[in-house]
Structure 1
């Protein structure tokens, strides 16, 4: 099994945002720290598993689709070779190649079946085969979701363990810790996609903050309505 960093980041962002949104919503509803932990950990494992399962099935479905298209291209090359050569010729003609150089490119590509199929998959269909195993992607998503998603709950666990049952104080520490987590995860994401790490950090921080504010005011509003 191999952990994939991009899936880990995807899971970690979702985990931290959704868990903190639950914390904010429960705080808004003025419920106890114990309820926060119950709902928070319930979300971590249930939603984390759902995301991992979704990642697995999506990755598997994509691999199956690509495999189906590859077999289709292989059949067309075996049974409609001249037409497929014309398609290669047209693809590279649009790239600016012509005359003898164009014909040499067509000859080179079509001389090796795998290269021919790979080129058709990439250039005609826009499909690039993913070497990642679906199971590895799902595990990476689950680990990221739970490892980073637990951060908003840590202050509540510590203060309850210390016998301090002050929800507001726990919430302040939760806000600080999760905001730092949002920013760091965003920076890591920015590094992966080769974008500004600072901008990516603030973007993730803003998205997470908006989700938390929405959840907080929904919880506060519902508490006000039913009380």
Structure 2
């Protein structure tokens, strides 16, 4: 959401600084929203798909080793359990019991040796859709006044809405970092404002040169 908010706010500010009309600003903002959302979604899909394929390859290798060297895999599993505080003899009994069932053995080795949950390897489609939607929500914020028909005051309203959203996103992120919500919001607001002001200034320079 933050990526969509900052990137599209900067895009809108840049073209507004160049002196184009409200309809051109809206068209540019919509193009930025769609281009960015599809790019984020596609990138997240490929990233998650590659990660899932890597995990599946590791699990397949573990399955092959389990089929070829069951005793060695049982000993590895026993040593893992021993490291967690289980007496070695008891750990070996547990490992042998698991190895007797190939499906349970593979599940245990995947979790204990690879550190993976075979049921939660990630969904490429889910990640892509989530990324697309959250980026779009953030990118919509600076377009709201133009979608509602505001013209001359549109850029001011867009800046205010984007500032409020930036502060809100920064405050929300602070909940995960344990930082002060006001400081987190203010930091995000300052960073976003500097980026937006810079693109507006550059846009105004380019617009003046073109004119």
Q: Which runs of 5+ in 1 are unaligned?
A: 1-11
1:86 corresponds to: 75
Offset at residue 196 of structure 1 (A): 4.9
1:9 corresponds to: none
2:45 corresponds to: 56
Distance 1:221 1:100, change over 3 A: farther
Structure 2 length normalisation: TM-score? 0.79
4+ runs deviating over 6 angstroms = none
**What CA distance in whole angstroms lies between the structure 2 residues aligned with 1:190 and 1:122?**
31
2:124 corresponds to: 134
**What CA distance in whole angstroms lies between the structure 2 residues aligned with 1:214 and 1:87?**
57
Residue 173 (structure 1) aligned to one of 157, 161, 168: 157
Offset at residue 51 of structure 1 (A): 1.3
Moved more, 75-84 or 214-223: 214-223
On the 8 A contact 1:21/1:216 being kept in 2, the answer is yes
Distance 1:115 1:209, change over 3 A: farther
Offset at residue 132 of structure 1 (A): 4.7
On the 8 A contact 1:28/1:219 being kept in 2, the answer is yes
Q: Deviations over 1:36-83 (max 9, x none)?
A: 111100011122112112222222222222222212111111111122
Offset at residue 207 of structure 1 (A): 4.3
Q: Which runs of 5+ in 2 are unaligned?
A: none
Is the counterpart of residue 145 in structure 1 residue 135 in structure 2? Answer: yes
**What CA distance in whole angstroms lies between the structure 1 residues aligned with 2:11 and 2:82?**
55
The alignment covers a number of residue pairs equal to: 209
Structure 1 length normalisation: TM-score? 0.75
